[in-house]
Amino acid sequence: MKGIGKLTIITGPMYSGKTTELLSFAEIYELGRKKILIFKPAIDTRYSKDDVVTHKMFKMPARVVGKAQEILEYYESLEEKPDAIFVDEVHFFDGNLTKVLKTITLDGVDVYCAGLDMSYLWEPFDVTAQLMSIADEVIKKKAVCEVCGEYNATLSYKTRANGGVLDVGGKEKYIAVCKECYQKIRKEEGH
């Protein structure tokens, strides 16, 4: 009997290398000739419709899903189960994701996921918070602060504050900042 799979979550602000780390774990399985599956939410169309792509344009083919339940349905439809599954941009998924991924680990499959821990309002994303609590390993990444240049950015700041907390975007919309710079900018903007 197979053991229970390990759940790993890679989290942090924008531009902290979450997807890069996710794909580097995926590469390790591939190098070991293991079978993997990569999923991403339908909402994230920044670089490519069917691939998971890093900011440096390294990419791997991914299956696009609308709801968390679709991950489980697809998994269950497979005759040959993967050794590991990878889910990018988990903060875009519904609250079912935790249950779905737990079910898959119970089947002996390792699960790696990546996503933002906080919105640009410095508030937790529930799905990520849930995954962080049930994970075997939490990898919290930092980015370089766009304002002061220090490698201590833990927050994402939205330079154009419209479109809500689940608004897809890149450098034209979001920057990574440290907490001190975040507070400074908010004050300057009169919040």
* Catalytic positions: 89
143: contact with Zn ion by CB under 5 A: no
Among 64, 138, 147, 168, binds Zn ion (CB under 5 A): 147
Q: CB of 149: closest distance to Zn ion in angstroms?
A: 7
By the rule CB under 5 A, 148 interacts with Zn ion: yes
Told to check if 10 binds Zn ion by CB under 5 A, we report: no
Would you say the C-alpha torsion 88, 96, 4, 12 has a positive or negative sign?
A: positive
Cα distances (angstroms) measured from residue 146 to each of 14, 48, 184: 11, 25, 13
For the chain, how far is it from start to end, CA to CA, in angstroms? 56
Task: Give the residue with the Cβ less far from Zn ion, 134 or 148.
Answer: 148
Residue 144 touches Zn ion, criterion: CB under 5 A: no
The least distance separating Zn ion from the CB of residue 146, rounded to whole angstroms, comes to: 8
Helix (H) or strand (E) holding 155: strand 155-158
* H-assigned helices in 2-79: 18-31, 68-77
SS3 78: coil
SS3 116: strand
- Rounded to a whole number of angstroms, the minimum distance from the CB of residue 185 to Zn ion is 9
Task: Give the interface segment with Zn ion, choosing from 2-10, 35-43, 48-56, 141-149 (CB under 5 A).
Answer: 141-149
Check binding of 181 to Zn ion (CB under 5 A). yes
Q: Which is nearer to Zn ion, 81 or 140 (CB)?
A: 140
Does residue 111 contact residue 101 with C-beta atoms inside 8 Å? yes
Among residues 9, 104, 114, 178, which is the contact residue for Zn ion, using CB under 5 A? 178
Q: Which of 23, 145, 175, 176 binds Zn ion (CB under 5 A)?
A: 145
Conformational region of residue 190, where left means phi above 0, alpha means psi within -120 to 50, and beta covers everything else:
left
Among residues 147 and 168, whose Cβ is nearest to Zn ion?
Answer: 147
**Where does this chain bind Zn ion (CB under 5 A)?**
145, 147-148, 178, 181
